[in-house]
Copies of this chain bind each other. A is one copy, B any other.
Amino acid sequence: MIRINAEILTVGTEILLGNIVNDNAAFLSRELANLGVAVYTHTSVGDNHPRLANALEHAFINADIVITTGGLGPTQDDITKTVAAEFFSRKLVTHEESFARIKERFAGGALPENVERNALVPEGAEILQNDHGSAPGICIESDGKILIMLPGPPHEMEPMFKNYASNFLRRKSDKIFLSRTLKIIGIGETAVESQLRDLVDAQTNPTIAPYATIGEVQLRITASAENEAEARNIIAPVADEIYKRLNPQVYGEDEAELAEIIVNKLKGKNLTLAVAESCTGGLVSSMLVEISGCSAVLRESFITYSNEAKTARLSVSPEILKTHGAVSPETAAAMAEGAAKSAGANIGLSITGIAGPDGGTPEKPVGLVYIGHFINGKTQTEKHNISGNRNVVRTRSAIRALDFLRRSL
């Protein structure tokens, strides 16, 4: 197997000023690892012609592939294409198909100034379509060097890599790499690792790589093989073993989204949902609405921050609120039932908690969250103590609430 190695070269003064964190480099590293491409260096430089030219030249001393992000737009700051064209001694020419796509994007309105510069590309390059913006991606292969230029905004760059650039790279490798990613909620990274210690220690092919985000752990199992069927066979027994050990915490695989799983389950069972949120303030609903087609199952959501709203919208009795408080299993249960009944939905889901930084007491500290659901006429609640700042508490609460519903469906 020839191991191809890559350098990721992110371009943008905002990175060097620390205005943004370099998520692009991390994303590309994970994707390249999946493709079996080793990454030995990340470099970031500003929107500065000589320094970028220097960095590009230096990158190709050690790397077979250089992937850049940023600097493809139409402004004077955007110099990546110019520097690349000089490096490969090529002219910049208009890519007509990209220009047509840009004009289509702005159909009916005036074209922004210089927008046509988005369609300038080095002559002879392979073009990667931008489904979410104006600047196309560009691949140049010459003298054993491969340069892939991607746009800077993650919502343009990430789908472009997944849908187009990865195919370009796959053609360069003589082995195939295949991954399955198991997605886990409700158990931390350290606990996952200690439950799988023997599997992780034994790993060679497939490899097992854990990756933690807020509220979730992902385990990526990667096999290299002659073909896809063989790779699947190498992965399967390891994945099965992990399921056996961690069930029911594995909620899905690969692109599966927790909210999507719930929307699809509800759709399949012809059930409707209503949500009542307090501390999460719309986050749970927003995660559900992210899923196209959620309107078929989500009847309505109530963001009832105040006690009055809990009573008016969800018929939570003032007595419950007075006796047990707004953050209590009793209130969570009443909110879930009230949401379902008020919206005429089959199922109610509720969250009430203390996101902080204020509002905690010794009995009810910041991070105390109750989630509840009302299914088939029965309420059930769960208590969680969640650590982190206000936003981490809110995000983890929302994920826990969705997962509670998933496990009960």
Q: Identify the closest chain B residue to A41 (Cβ).
A: B45
Distance in angstroms between the alpha carbons of A358 and B293 in the assembled complex: 8
Q: What is the minimal beta-carbon distance from A338 to any residue of chain B, in angstroms?
A: 14
Q: What is the minimal beta-carbon distance from A331 to any residue of chain B, in angstroms?
A: 15
Q: What is the minimal beta-carbon distance from A375 to any residue of chain B, in angstroms?
A: 20
Copies of this chain, whole number: 2
What is the number of residues of chain A that contact chain B, defined by CB distance less than 8 Å?
107
Q: Mark A264-295, 1 if CB is under 8 A from B, else 0.
A: 00000000000101011111111011101111
Distance in angstroms between the alpha carbons of A294 and B300 in the assembled complex: 22
Distance in angstroms between the alpha carbons of A62 and B280 in the assembled complex: 47
Q: Assess the B46–A40 pair: CB atoms within 8 A.
A: yes
> In this assembly, does A167 line the interface, its C-beta being within 8 Å of a C-beta of chain B?
no
Q: What is the minimal beta-carbon distance from A51 to any residue of chain B, in angstroms?
A: 6
Contacts of A80 in B (CB 8 A): none
Q: What is the minimal beta-carbon distance from A249 to any residue of chain B, in angstroms?
A: 16
Q: Mark A302-342, 1 if CB is under 8 A from B, else 0.
A: 11111011000100000000000000000000000000000
Distance in angstroms between the alpha carbons of A98 and B51 in the assembled complex: 39
> In this assembly, does A100 line the interface, its C-beta being within 8 Å of a C-beta of chain B?
no
23 contacting pairs across A/B (C-beta < 8 A): A15-B25, A15-B42, A16-B41, A17-B29, A17-B33, A18-B27, A18-B211, A19-B30, A40-B48, A77-B209, A113-B190, A131-B389, A155-B389, A281-B294, A281-B298, A282-B283, A282-B285, A282-B286, A289-B303, A290-B391, A299-B309, A300-B303, A303-B303
